[in-house]
């Protein structure tokens, strides 16, 4: 695949991504998914009664309090609700639980239980939303939701349950998380396409690793955004899978950002530090997963400590990224005054866009983690958290799009310019036929394709006489007319070129000895111009060297030329 084709693929892919990005923005501005519900929806935020049990640290027995977080493992909180008397078709309940065993009963009859099996298999109860289908006759009955802590500090009071019709609950949920879904899906698609383009074009790109890590970061941010805001529920109902995905994506982000900044670092010391940062982040992530696999430390407990490391490493990466950005910006300022450094200015502009995107992303991840620490809302209903993380993610996406769209346009123009220069380098200026350099390359590649071929060597007999009698302008006109005749006489799949002043060559592909002899005799014996020619077929030589075939054709051409000169300079076709 040629460089021009690769540039076109890259440009088309990025234009497609820009189109999807603008389409998503249009959907967000148009207010799609804002539709209302067909039946009443109730936010159950006022339980009729609450039953709470916690264990005193001294172990002197249960003490009834009203905590939102468990003091010890095994503490529970029961909340009772009297469902509205109004009947709702296909009633459903949306509840949230993290690090708790959820038990839901209706008038004392068990409807749903979650967490016990997960605690036995994984040593922790993954958090997430659950959408339960209730019996049709549930109106007016007493609903009980019991939260039993599986570890210390587990949330016994999360977001208020939502009671509504099943379709209304789903529609309302989509309306709440539509921005997250749009951004997460787009980032995942964007990252996947960039990574796929890297595998396709890595041999033709000078910034291939930047493209790879940019695509991986975008893909991870897409999945992490969906997991972080519980929007992955629409793709999988498994809380365990969603929790593991969120944890893995979060732990891999510092690794990818570290190696990405290493590509943009200026000196070797910075590169080593970023490499160590990436390796350390990968080691910490591996240790957390290993402790979970060996069931020594539950994943959710280990993640509480990991989040402190996550915040710290983001601070380090942000400060280091600012230093690198400053250096690139100063170099870019120095290059702006030079008109001879367009290629370097293009690279600096792209690096500045990449660094700005990474800095905004790192700052956003840090702000999200700090807000989550102070808010401690396991259900993540905080609108400010949503806005900050999504704003930073969208800005990162926009800068990444601008960078690769900008580079795709420059690469396309540069490729077109290189092809134009290549065409000038391998084309004869007078006849517009391939020149000797191009014909030599073609001869070198002839035997590689295992195709039979013939070579014709030609020489114009009257060129010197024409130059002496009528001037060089008439000689040039004779050469151009002969080139036009060659183009019209041979097939478009054959190659006709000018080897020197009055010497020309024709390479005929996929012809038998008899076919090429008939073709050469038909073309060259009926020319209005006196021409000496000689032809040879690839079967006539015993070596795999096209130059040997050309040498044989050239010898036959000179033999004819000597014969013509011996007859007084006049050649009669026979």
Q: Catalytic site residues?
A: 502
Distance CA 167, CA 181 (A): 18
Beta strands in 107-184 (DSSP E): 109-114, 128-133, 142-149, 162-165
Instruction: Kindly report each contact of residues 369-373 with a partner whose C-beta sits within 8 Å and lies 24 or more positions away, as own/partner.
Output: 369/307, 369/310, 369/311, 369/314, 370/311, 372/307, 373/307, 373/311
Query: Do the Cβ atoms of 86 and 77 come closer than 8 Å?
Result: no
Q: Measured at the alpha carbon of residue 33, what is the angle toward residues 28 and 37, in degrees to the nearest 5?
A: 150
What is the layout of strands, in order, in the sheet containing 162-165?
Answer: 42-43, 162-165, 91-97, 128-133
- Residues 6 or more apart whose Cβ sits within 8 Å of residue 545: 447
Eight-class DSSP state of 438: H
| Cα distances (Å, whole numbers) of residue 343 to 266, 324, 338 | 18, 20, 11
Instruction: Kindly report each contact of residues 15-23 with a partner whose C-beta sits within 8 Å and lies 24 or more positions away, as own/partner.
Output: 15/405, 16/193, 17/189, 17/190, 17/193, 17/401, 18/401, 18/405, 20/186, 20/189, 20/190, 21/186, 21/190, 21/397, 21/398, 21/401
Query: Do the Cβ atoms of 166 and 90 come closer than 8 Å?
Result: yes
Query: Do the Cβ atoms of 245 and 309 come closer than 8 Å?
Result: no
* Chain length of the chain: 574
Q: Shortest CA distance to 313 belongs to which of 277, 269, 259, 279?
A: 277
The residue whose two tokens read 């250096």 is 327
């Amino acid at each position: 695949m040629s460089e021009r084709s690769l540039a076109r693929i890259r440009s088309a892919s990025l234009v497609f991504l820009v189109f999807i990005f603008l389409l998503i923005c249009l959907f967000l501005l148009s207010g799609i998914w804002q539709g209302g519900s067909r039946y009443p929806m109730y936010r159950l935020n006022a339980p009729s009664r609450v039953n709470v049990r916690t264990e005193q640290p001294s172990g002197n027995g249960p003490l009834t309090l009203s905590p939102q977080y468990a003091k010890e493992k095994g503490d529970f909180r029961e909340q009772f609700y009297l469902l509205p008397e109004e009947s709702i078709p296909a009633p459903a309940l949306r509840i949230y639980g993290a690090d708790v065993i959820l038990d839901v009963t209706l008038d004392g009859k068990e409807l749903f239980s979650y967490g016990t099996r997960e605690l036995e298999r994984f040593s922790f109860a993954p958090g997430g939303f659950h959408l339960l289908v209730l019996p049709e006759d549930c109106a007016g009955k007493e609903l009980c939701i019991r939260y039993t802590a599986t570890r210390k500090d587990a949330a016994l009071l999360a977001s208020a349950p939502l009671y509504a019709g099943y379709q209304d609950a789903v529609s309302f949920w989509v309306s709440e998380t539509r921005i997250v879904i749009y951004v997460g899906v787009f980032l995942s698609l964007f990252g996947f396409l960039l990574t796929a383009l890297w595998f396709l074009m890595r041999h033709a790109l000078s910034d291939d690793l930047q493209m790879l890590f940019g695509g991986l970061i975008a893909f991870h941010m897409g999945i992490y955004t969906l997991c972080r805001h519980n929007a992955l529920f629409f793709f999988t109902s498994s809380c365990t899978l969603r929790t593991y995905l969120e944890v893995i994506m979060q732990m891999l982000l510092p690794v990818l950002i570290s190696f990405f900044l290493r590509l943009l670092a200026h000196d070797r010391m910075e590169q080593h530090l970023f490499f160590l940062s990436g390796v350390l982040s990968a080691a910490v992530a591996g240790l957390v997963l290993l402790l979970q696999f060996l069931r020594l430390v539950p994943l959710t407990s280990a993640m509480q400590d990991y989040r402190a490391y996550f915040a710290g490493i983001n601070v380090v990466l942000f400060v280091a990224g600012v230093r690198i950005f400053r250096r690139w910006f100063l170099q870019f300022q120095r290059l702006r005054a030079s008109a001879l450094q367009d290629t370097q200015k293009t690279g600096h502009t792209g690096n500045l866009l990449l660094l700005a995107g990474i800095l905004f992303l790192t700052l956003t991840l840090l702000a999200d983690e700090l807000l989550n620490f102070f808010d401690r809302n396991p259900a993540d209903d905080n609108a400010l958290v949503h806005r900050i993380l999504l704003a930073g993610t969208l800005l990162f996406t926009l800068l990444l799009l601008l960078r690769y769209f900008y580079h795709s346009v420059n690469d396309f123009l540069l490729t077109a310019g290189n092809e134009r220069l290549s065409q000038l380098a391998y084309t004869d200026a007078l006849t517009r036929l391939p020149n000797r350099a191009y014909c030599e390359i073609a001869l070198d590649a002839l035997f590689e394709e295992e195709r039979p071929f013939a070579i014709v060597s030609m020489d114009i007999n009257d060129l010197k006489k024409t130059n002496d009698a009528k001037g060089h302008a008439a000689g040039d006109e004779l050469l151009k007319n002969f080139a036009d005749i060659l183009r019209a006489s041979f097939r478009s799949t054959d190659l006709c070129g000018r080897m020197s002043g009055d010497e020309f060559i024709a390479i005929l592909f996929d012809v038998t000895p008899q076919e090429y002899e008939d073709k050469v005799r038909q073309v060259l014996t009926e020319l209005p111009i006196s021409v000496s020619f000689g032809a040879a077929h690839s079967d006539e030589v015993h070596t795999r060297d096209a130059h040997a075939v050309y040498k044989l054709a050239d010898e036959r051409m000179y033999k004819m030329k000597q014969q013509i000169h011996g007859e007084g300079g006049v050649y009669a076709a026979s």
